[in-house]
Chain A
Amino acid sequence: EVQLVESGGGLVQPGGSLRLSCAASGFTLNDCSMNWVRQAPGKGLEWLAHIWTTSGTTHYAESMKGRLTISGDNAKNSVYLQVNSLRDEDTAVYFCVRDRDWAFDHWGQGTQVTVSS
């Protein structure tokens, strides 16, 4: 069974940083690509970042470029998202999402990030 478990969320002050983790099981990262998607309270889905875990090639949402770094560790079957210079508007649930056949076929339950002083 495919499972994605996010961790690393929490309360952080404006200007701070967080590193989110996503532990994958039931498949190997080499078989697909991975993404991070977020959802602010009461708002829609927003795609943030993508990584081809085999090659390490990455893509980022233009609105977030410069503040995000997505990475993967095939040995740990895990994906990470570093978010810097956090702002109030970054408060959201952050989902780890598997991308196979150019569709988001499995989603984690999400980790809550709250930016507040």
Chain B
Amino acid sequence: QSALTQPASVSGSPGQSITISCSGSSSDVGGSDHVSWYQQHPGKAPKLMIYEVIKRPSGVSDRFSGSKSGNTASLAISGLQVEDEADYYCCSHARNDFWVFGGGTRLTVL
């Protein structure tokens, strides 16, 4: 069982906005500024989309944004596009295990 809890799936139509949650504890998400999000298309390596909760790497669309409240982090995607369809994983630095991932969320763009 993953240390961080994500919904198994979310869906939206092109142009809509969605949010993916990532719930942890005070030992990881709640106690760390080192929360990141990754996008993975089938058969590909993951790609960094958000780091340090809210920061976007160069080249990542500003349609992607991150936030955190208490022990829950969130990834928001606005103006959904077909190419956003992928698996998304959150990750947090943790007091016990050094890094922990969420179980992943499959985003379907209908």
**Which residues in A have some Cβ–Cβ distance to B below 8 Å?**
35, 37, 44-47, 50, 59-62, 95, 101-105, 107-110
Write out the residue numbers on chain B whose beta carbons fall within 8 Å of the beta carbon of A108: 45
Task: Please judge, given known A-B contacts A104-B38, A105-B57, whether A46 and B46 are in contact too, CB under 8 Å.
Answer: no
Asked if A47 contacts B101 (CB within 8 A), the reply is: yes
Closest A residue to B101 using CB positions: A45
Q: Which residue, A35, A101, A104, A107, has most C-beta atoms of chain B within 10 A?
A: A104
A4–B2 alpha-carbon span in the complex (Å) = 26
Asked if A45 contacts B52 (CB within 8 A), the reply is: no
Q: Which residue, A46, A62, A103, A105, has most C-beta atoms of chain B within 10 A?
A: A103
A-B interface contact total, Cβ < 8 Å:
60
Write out the residue numbers on chain A whose beta carbons fall within 8 Å of the beta carbon of B38: 45, 104
Task: Please judge, given known A-B contacts A50-B98, A102-B93, whether A44 and B48 are in contact too, CB under 8 Å.
Answer: no
Could you list some 14 contacts between A and B, CB below 8 A? A37-B101, A44-B2, A44-B101, A45-B38, A47-B100, A60-B98, A61-B97, A101-B51, A101-B52, A103-B34, A103-B36, A104-B38, A105-B51, A107-B47
- In this complex, how many residues of chain B approach chain A with their Cβ under 8 Å: the count is 25
Asked if A47 contacts B98 (CB within 8 A), the reply is: yes
Closest B residue to A64 using CB positions: B97
A10 to chain B minimum Cβ distance, whole angstroms, is: 19
> Any chain A CB within 8 A of the CB of B103?
yes
> Any chain A CB within 8 A of the CB of B69?
no
Partner of A103, one of B52, B97, B104: B52
> Any chain A CB within 8 A of the CB of B24?
no
Q: In B62-94, which residues have CB < 8 Å from any A CB?
A: 87, 89, 91, 93
